[in-house]
Amino acid sequence: MSLLEVEDLAIHFGGVKAVDGVSFSVEKGEVFAIIGPNGAGKSTIFNLISRIYQSTLGRIQFDGQDITASRAHDIAGLGIARTFQNIELFDHSTVLDNLLMGRHTHRRTNFVQDILFLPKVRREERQHRRRVEQVIEFLELEAYRKKMIAGLPYGVRKVVEIGRALATGPKLILLDEPASGLSVEETRDVAFWIEDMRRDMGLTVLMVEHDMSLVNQVSDRVMAVANGRTLAMGTPAEVQAHPDVMAAYLGTGAAA
Amino acid sequence: MRVVFKTSYDRDIDLHEHGRSRARIAVLLAIMIVLPFLVGDYYLAEATNTLIWALAGMGLMVAVGHTGQVSLGHAAFLAIGAYADSALMNTGLPFLVSFPLAGLVTGLFGALIAVPAVRMSGIYLAIATLAVFVIVEELVIMLEPITGGVGGIMAPSISILGLTFDRYAALDHFYWLCLAVVALVTWGYANLMRSPTGRSFLAVRDSEVSARALGINVTRTRALAFGLSSGVTGLAGALMGHYIGFFNYELFSIFISINLLLVVTIGGLGFIQGAFLGAILITAVPQLIAILRDNLVAVGVDLSGVPGLDTMIFSLILICFIIYEPTGLYGRWLKIRTWFEVFPLARRDMFRRQKSYLKTERMK
Ligand SMILES: Nc1ncnc2c1ncn2[C@@H]1O[C@H](COP(=O)(O)OP(=O)(O)OP(=O)(O)O)[C@@H](O)[C@H]1O
Ligand SMILES: [Mg+2]
């Protein structure tokens, strides 16, 4: 059975059918990319999966469980982590604290224990820290540990957000345009990390990306969407050769 | 610049990163403890007042500074704390029981009203809390058997284990009592902020959508923060009642709410230390103005006929801080300290990128 199954998913904002009957499934250990012109509905699909938006129609199943009606704050605990297209970090906290916030679903203490800072709290903190340090090492964020997010360059913030998602210890990670705004070198790093997430961490990756060279390099399967509908699905080469996909890209003037 | 070499994660988990900051707090606390032997009653009373304001400031800081919920209603929580404590003591409960209970009652009330209010933010939340304040004020006047109505009540005299802590009979004892409460709350607050609960507050403040995506229940987190905030403010209210002695609803006016907001914004939003610096400022400025007035009278200028001088000066200070130093007194202090630490390497725009406003301050 697939890790993530999306069936006939749709959401309408008034008259705008942002997502209009999309179906796809992501297998365990797969890197699955969603491509499409601006406004196609890619980020909206992410928001539907993370339950920030309420779907109008359709069904979402994750790991054998129906999450169509789950609450947004229960999604992380099931093992789905995500990044946002327009970086949503906690700007007035340090990199370390942002990553530690990613450990929220693993907390076992309540606020009274926290206020008294019982030995249990310290033990748990050490454990969270150990996990977070692994993420820091993986993404080479050592130099930024104690830096405030507000003062960091764009590229680093982008990486920190991936780190925060990894710190939750997910099964599935949703990356919304992980390479947008990054330099060629930074994009290459992102490609390596995605490879490692799949190979070393056993993660499943669902990503939205405009950079076709990155998509070609890392993804097993690609789905092209436009106007909230699926245009094509298959290997990166198949999808890019699909006449509808070429038309959609040429139609909006974006280079494929 | 001081570089701290860390050899274990505990160095980051501990309250103090290095021994010097721990020593600084110890010295400060020691001075506070011996203060009754150093100053006369007048200044000791002022110091007590400052401590109570700092406590109330910490209460509001949890909501405004650390969770991004603006409240114009915190004077109501001061009132509930004060009346609850007096009422409980009048039923015969000792202060050691009535005092925490008063905080608990206020905290529960705060958490309760937070539930419908949590979906609001910015100006809407401010107005909703203002409405709560108005309702509580009316209730205080109506519930005459408990509150004494318009006339007011006398706070019962405190005695613990046979020792009197009455504000007039034994000011030094009352001062130590306030100091102990403030020290305990500060410790708990600092603990909270280095733990998962505190981080979830900051998360809700800075990005609600990613807080949810990380599994944080935003509604519950905000209600908890608001409950803790009003609980601590309730404790401050109880102490304030005992400090004033005889009080009625006028003690908890809307201006107290506004002054509390000044305490946290001028002190430095998002810093526990800010509540203390703000409290010192808010209690010292009227004194300074009084001294200034007297001196001006001596040279022939009489300002006693100018009404609202205090308020005007406060407003001016606040405007200057919002424009020039959004991180408040504590933020300014951090910059001065860094300047000395890196001397002579400080650069003019070293803090440029840090001049950003918390979401609390933006009205959306
Ligand atoms: N909350 C909302 N309310 C109304 N319309 C929305 C909302 N969210 C998305 N939309 C609309 O849905 C459509 C799809 O938006 P979406 O952000 O999913 O596009 P996208 O494929 O991610 O585009 P891009 O490549 O620019 O990120 C757009 O027309 C957008 O205006
Ligand atoms: Mg998008």
pLDDT of residue A253: 47
Mean pLDDT value of segment A110-132? 95
> Is the model's pLDDT at B356 over the cut of 80?
no
- Who has greater pLDDT, A7 or B114? A7
Facing residue for B188 by CB, picked from A72, A96, A115: A115
Termini Cα distance of chain A: 33
pLDDT band at A245 (very low <50, low <70, confident <90, very high): confident
Q: Which of A6-10, A123-127, B140-144, B352-356 has the lowest mean pLDDT?
A: B352-356
* Residue B332 is assigned to a structural domain of this protein: no
* Residue B122 is assigned to a structural domain of this protein: yes
**Contact yes or no for A154/A61 (Cβ under 8 A):** no
* Residue B173 is assigned to a structural domain of this protein: yes
Mean pLDDT value of segment A70-91? 95
In this structure, which CATH number among 3.40.50.2300, 2.30.30.100, 3.40.50.300, 3.30.365.10 belongs to the domain A1-26+33-79+171-256? 3.40.50.300
Amino acid symbol at B85: D
CA distances from B104 to A115, A139, B100, B101 (A): 15, 45, 6, 5
pLDDT of residue B285: 83
Mean pLDDT value of segment B104-130? 87
Determine the distance separating the centroid of ligand 2 and the alpha carbon of A176, expressed in angstroms. Answer: 7
CB of B3 within 8 Å of any CB in chain A? no
CB of B228 within 8 Å of any CB in chain A? yes
Residue A93 φ/ψ, nearest 5 degrees: -120, 165
Atom of ligand 1 nearest to the CA of A225: 21
Residue B48 CA to residue B50 CA, distance in Å, equals 5
Residue B63 CA to residue B226 CA, distance in Å, equals 6
**Which of A9, A35, A44, A223, when mutated, tests ligand 1's pocket best, judged by the most ligand atoms within 8 Å of its CB?**
A44
Mean pLDDT value of segment A226-239? 93
Instruction: Estimate the share of chain A in helix, then strand, then coil, as percent rounded to the nearest 5.
Output: 45, 25, 35
> Is the model's pLDDT at B120 over the cut of 80?
no
H-assigned helices in A81-183: 95-101, 111-116, 119-138, 154-167
Q: Which of A236-245, B155-164, B315-324 has the lowest mean pLDDT?
A: B315-324
* Residue B345 is assigned to a structural domain of this protein: no
pLDDT of residue B364: 39
pLDDT of residue A251: 63
Mean pLDDT value of segment B12-41? 87
Q: CB under 6 Å to ligand 1: residues?
A: A 13, 16, 18, 36, 38-44, 85
> Is the model's pLDDT at B318 over the cut of 80?
no
Facing residue for B353 by CB, picked from A100, A103, A151: A151
Q: Do B196 and A107 touch (CB under 8 A)?
A: yes
Q: Which of A42-56, A94-108, B157-171 has the lowest mean pLDDT?
A: B157-171
Q: Which of A91-95, B128-132, B205-209, B350-354 has the lowest mean pLDDT?
A: B350-354
The whole-chain average pLDDT of chain A stands at 93
Q: Which residue of A has its CA nearest to B11?
A: A126
pLDDT band at B293 (very low <50, low <70, confident <90, very high): confident
Percent of chain B with pLDDT over 90: 51
> Is the model's pLDDT at B2 over the cut of 70?
no
User: Where is B175: in which H helix or E strand?
Assistant: helix B171-193
Residues 68-87 of A with CB under 8 A from B: 72-77, 81-82, 84
Structural domain including B127 reads 23-254
The domain segmentation of chain A, as residue ranges, is 1-26+33-79+171-256, 92-169
Residue B204 CA to residue B217 CA, distance in Å, equals 9
> Is the model's pLDDT at B122 over the cut of 80?
no
The neighbouring-strand residues paired with B163 are: B160
Number of domains observed in the structure of chain B: 1
pLDDT of residue A255: 44
> Is the model's pLDDT at B339 over the cut of 80?
no
CB of B1 within 8 Å of any CB in chain A? no
pLDDT band at B314 (very low <50, low <70, confident <90, very high): confident
Residues 171-230 of A with CB under 8 A from B: none
pLDDT of residue A151: 86
B165-218 per-position pLDDT tens digit:
988 889 999 999 999 999 999 999 999 999 999 999 999 999 999 999 999 999
Residue A140 CA to residue A192 CA, distance in Å, equals 12
Mean pLDDT value of segment B245-274? 90
Mean pLDDT value of segment B162-166? 86
Residue B101 CA to residue A98 CA, distance in Å, equals 36
Nearest to B269 by CA among B329, B354, B193: B329
Residue B11 CA to residue B5 CA, distance in Å, equals 9
Facing residue for B207 by CB, picked from A89, A111, A122: A89
